Amino acid sequence: MKIIIINSGSSSIKYQLINMPTKEVICSGMIDRIGLDSSNLTYVTNSTKLEESLPIADHKIGLEKIAELLMNDNIGVIKTTEEINAVGHRVVHGGSYFTDTTIINSDVKEKIKELSILVPLHNPAHLLGINVAEEIFATAKQVAVFDTAFHQTIPVVAYKYAIPNALLTESKIRVYGFHGISHKYVSEKAIEYLKKSSKIISIHLGNGCSMTAIQDGKSIDHTMGFSPSNGLIMGTRSGDIDHSLIFYLINTLGYTATEVNNLLLKESGMLGLTGYSDLRDIEASAEKGNIDCQLALAMNAYRIRKYIGSYAAAMNGLDAIIFTAGIGENSSYIRKLVCTDMDYFGIEIDMEKNDIRSKEIREINTLNSKTKIMVIPTNEEVEIANQVYNLLLN
């Protein structure tokens, strides 16, 4: 069964064509920096590696470019779209409607659209990807895999907000949690590596960032909540703020509600602190002495450290922390900032191991560290393929 996975992020598209159940990756690639003048495109097969820098204005143009490459006469891997059995779509928010992998129909698309108000950086991109995929891969099953599903095990004491009860029972306002596909994948890899169901904190750091407390393989708390906007400092999102700030911006400074929403989601975070949203640019400027960038990186790490303490308390212990996703896997600088002076939690980083680049699961802690510090490359596409295959098989 050939399954193409489309993972549309807020500023990127990752894709893989996977042969199931062997999990053979026929083709893979990514487009990042969507919306900028210099978007990066990669397209990789067993015999081809294409890297290109070009302007890609939006997700629709990006997906059309990917489809063009897949069926290219010279470097393509399929001759006809009928070779694709299914398209697996990562969808960030399933709300209270979807708690498991789901075959997409018009009702499912309508619910995804409804939830776009909560995740304006994500669900609209997913829906666009679904609509384009339906046109291109017309004979394939379209399947949605939801980031919120993994967090259904969060207990009520953690997912309920201290607001009137009716807002939960009638309006379904609660913590939903996000990046669940990634957190599920890396935590299962960690448990397999450690050979026990441990107390784990998974730290997913990309343009969007989140942390999950995972006990006995289940999510029990998560930094994001009703929408993927709170918690850690992100590329353009503020993360945690005092909610009274919203009313101050509106009532005193004259912002509209739409302007505040745009400010907190698209103009804040590392972008608001430094003028850059990409951590590679921020680290480069920090190394050259940019004080704003140096402070932003310190603030980013400080927020992560606070949540490590919080989740160690919630689980009454800590066996391992996992760094994953683009920043978590590749930024030795952020990992060093997070793990330095954390010996109270049994976290001791080995600086030499931390600087080693690898695509394998690895420990970067010292031999004396009581808590394992692990770098585990996430593979949301393989996790999505597993879930799509299992659904269609049944």
Among 37, 100, 147, 355, the active-site one is 147
90 labelled as ligand-binding?
yes
368 labelled as ligand-binding?
no
Is 281 annotated as catalytic?
A: no
380 labelled as ligand-binding?
yes
328 labelled as ligand-binding?
yes
d(CA 107, CA 127): 12
330 labelled as ligand-binding?
yes
316 labelled as ligand-binding?
no
113 labelled as ligand-binding?
no
129 labelled as ligand-binding?
no
204 labelled as ligand-binding?
yes
d(CA 391, CA 394): 5
Sequence-distant (6+) residues with CB within 8 A of 125 are 8, 9, 10, 59
b/e burial code for range 21-33 (CB count within 10 A of at least 16 → b): eeeebbbbbbbbb
329 labelled as ligand-binding?
yes
326 labelled as ligand-binding?
yes
289 labelled as ligand-binding?
no
| Closest alpha carbon to 43 in 12, 9, 20, 76 | 76
Q: What are the φ/ψ torsions at residue 28 (nearest 5 degrees)?
A: -150, 165
- Span between the terminal Cα atoms of the chain, in Å: 14
29 labelled as ligand-binding?
no
70 labelled as ligand-binding?
no
d(CA 232, CA 110): 30
CB neighbour class for 123 (10 Å; exposed up to 12, middle 13-18, buried from 19): buried
231 labelled as ligand-binding?
no
Inter-residue contact 293 to 285 (CB < 8 Å): yes
Q: Which two tokens stand for residue 355?
A: 């600087």
253 labelled as ligand-binding?
no
94 labelled as ligand-binding?
no
Q: Strand order in 362-363's β-sheet?
A: 218-222, 209-215, 199-205, 320-324, 372-375, 362-363
Residues comprising the binding site? 7, 14, 90, 204-208, 278-280, 326-330, 380
Residues comprising the binding site for ATP? 14, 204-208, 278-280, 326-330
Residues comprising the binding site for Mg(2+)? 7, 380
Active site residues: 147
Residues comprising the binding site for substrate? 90
